[in-house]
Amino acid sequence: MTPPFIHTDPNDIAPTLMSPLRPHVIVLFGANGDLARRKLLPGLLHLSRAGLVPDCRIVGTSLDDLDDEGFRKFAHTACDEFASRTVSEQQWETFESKLRYVGQAAGPGGLAEAVAKAEAELGGEPRRLHYLSVPPNAARDVVRMLGEANLVERSRIIMEKPFGTDLQSSRALNAFLHETFDEEQIFRIDHFLGKEAAQNILAFRFANGLFEPIWNRDHIDHIQIDVPETLSLENRAVFYESTGAYRDMVVTHLFQVLAFMAMEPPTALEPRAISEEKNKVFRSMRAIEPTHVVRGQYLGYRDEPGVSAHSETETFIALKCEIDNWRWAGVPFFLRTGKRLAEGARIISIAFREPPKSMFPIGSGVGAHGPDHLTFDLADASKLSLSFYGKRPGPGMKLDKLSLQFALHETGRQSDVLEAYERLIYDAMSGDHTLFTSAEGIERLWEISSQLLETPTPVRPYAPGSWGPNAIHQLVAPHAWRLPFERAWRSTAT
């Protein structure tokens, strides 16, 4: 058994118990794209300097005609702009010595030669990680190239969303992938699940005797998963016109978070057991009914470059979905996401059932602020809040809504956190599928979406800077949307 690796660099993250990784050659397709610039190259830099990926070579490839030096300059600029931690010149020199580049014009033979050189530098038989940071229509060509270059053995492959656009295309994509790669080699990435706060859901649910017994329909009234965005298309009109908010966000992100909230306790904290419980949730979900969906489009969307003047693509989606099993029967899950909304947030809010009868007098304040809520904030500065009624100090029986709050920075270990892409790249290199989507799971989600995709409801206009079309209030009635909050999160100031 390999001994654990204990990272102890006092200038970096705090001492962390991690398993050492075998030497790796990382092939980064789309190496000079926006995702590589903002997340992947800075993330690989941090993993490398933290000692979590101590022995690797990174072979970048794209359609652009670059050499090793050009790629290193691109990576240096990207890391200077987007790296979350300060990097010394010595640390950068160590990292850039691991960077190589080969243009895709060199074909499978050129790629195979570049990888072979990188492997020879490492010695032995290092593992291979192929990251496909490419548009969906280019993914098949990349997989073919990897097969023709004989780079499948000892390899794992990370796929970016979307994983198809409907049931038929997702089945066809998975069948195509399985011609070259085994399912165990495929890692379909969802950066939402890579966030520390999302993983904390598992710890919160299954490690605490206070909450585990009440995590069911007897005590929970409804659940909201709310991910509004203030951003517009950000030059992604061609991609967005072919997907829309439902395909882009709900299937690949919000449903995955829902599974963490709704799954049964796994038999062990290991990838196969957790994946099976997630898939049980998906199998138990009822088909999405178009009457339980509100689609919206912000005013001005059709004026965006690359958007049809008659586009019916939704930039906003809100829906109610149900899980048909003993734990969740009768508990609605409300999901909302969209572009150009009033705030940017990533909130999960659990509303508990109110007492069946109140002994408090009229005017006491009980019921005035709705049910008790447990709220997870999945933003990078992750927080958790539990609201409840408590007596107002002074004479009489006046009650106010109070809250217990926790924020990640209060642990004093915020520097330990790996960013979402860093965690997911590390997990893929480790062969850990816990935070990734399986072929079975993604196909089931497209299956329950078929009716909505075949007969979508009309898009309703909404003003930029609002919370979406007015019809969302009828969708959630007799409840109310948790966002916007009536009370702000407690200030982080000491």
Q: pLDDT tens, 282-312? A: 999 999 999 999 999 999 999 999 899 999 9
Q: Is position 253 annotated as part of the catalytic site? A: yes
In a domain, 176, yes or no: no
Answer whether residue 478 shows pLDDT above 70: yes
Give the pLDDT confidence score for residue 10 in this predicted structure: 37
What number is the average pLDDT over the span 426-445? 92
The confidence band for 20, taking pLDDT boundaries of 50, 70 and 90, is: low
Residues 210, 150 within the same domain: no
The confidence band for 362, taking pLDDT boundaries of 50, 70 and 90, is: confident
In a domain, 172, yes or no: no
Q: pLDDT tens, 38-87? A: 999 999 999 988 888 878 999 999 999 899 999 999 999 999 999 878 88
In a domain, 178, yes or no: no
Answer whether residue 399 shows pLDDT above 50: yes
In a domain, 436, yes or no: no
Q: Which of 257, 322, 247, 320 has the alpha carbon at shortest distance from 286?
A: 322
Q: pLDDT tens, 198-221? A: 777 888 888 888 888 999 999 999
Give the pLDDT confidence score for residue 16 in this predicted structure: 43
Answer whether residue 417 shows pLDDT above 70: no
Alpha carbon distance 268, 75 (integer Å):
40
**Per the structure, how many domains does the chain have?**
2
Residues 394, 253 within the same domain: yes
Kindly report which listed range (63-72, 158-167, 236-245, 360-369) carries the lowest average pLDDT score.
360-369
Answer whether residue 415 shows pLDDT above 60: no
Q: Where are the alpha helices (DSSP H) in 3-61?
A: 34-35, 41-49
Average pLDDT taken over every residue of the chain: 88
Give the pLDDT confidence score for residue 435 in this predicted structure: 87
The confidence band for 489, taking pLDDT boundaries of 50, 70 and 90, is: low
DSSP 354: P
Other Cβ atoms closer than 10 A to 366: 18
Residues 151, 200 within the same domain: no
Residues 121, 258 within the same domain: no
Give the pLDDT confidence score for residue 420 in this predicted structure: 84
What number is the average pLDDT over the span 378-394? 78
Residue 25 parent element (H or E): strand 24-29
What number is the average pLDDT over the span 100-129? 95
If one compares 404 and 282, the residue with the highest pLDDT of the two is: 282
Residues 395, 266 within the same domain: yes
In the chain, what percentage of residues exceed pLDDT 90?
Answer: 63
In a domain, 225, yes or no: yes
Answer whether residue 448 shows pLDDT above 90: yes
Task: Give 350's strand partners.
Answer: 223, 374
In a domain, 270, yes or no: yes
If one compares 51 and 164, the residue with the highest pLDDT of the two is: 164
CATH at residue 337: 3.30.360.10
Q: pLDDT tens, 335-346? A: 999 999 999 999
Catalytic residue among 46, 130, 191, 253: 253
Residues 324, 471 within the same domain: yes
Count of positions (residues) in the chain: 494
Give the pLDDT confidence score for residue 413 in this predicted structure: 54
What number is the average pLDDT over the span 76-101? 90
The confidence band for 15, taking pLDDT boundaries of 50, 70 and 90, is: very low
Give the pLDDT confidence score for residue 7 in this predicted structure: 40
Give the pLDDT confidence score for residue 371 in this predicted structure: 85
Q: Which of 133, 174, 175, 181 has the alpha carbon at shortest distance from 153?
A: 181
90 phi and psi angles, rounded to 5 deg = -65, -40
Answer whether residue 6 shows pLDDT above 50: no
Alpha carbon distance 75, 379 (integer Å):
26
In terms of residue numbers, what domain contains 65?
5-160
Alpha carbon distance 373, 22 (integer Å):
44
In a domain, 403, yes or no: yes
Residues 274, 345 within the same domain: yes
CATH at residue 57: 3.40.50.720
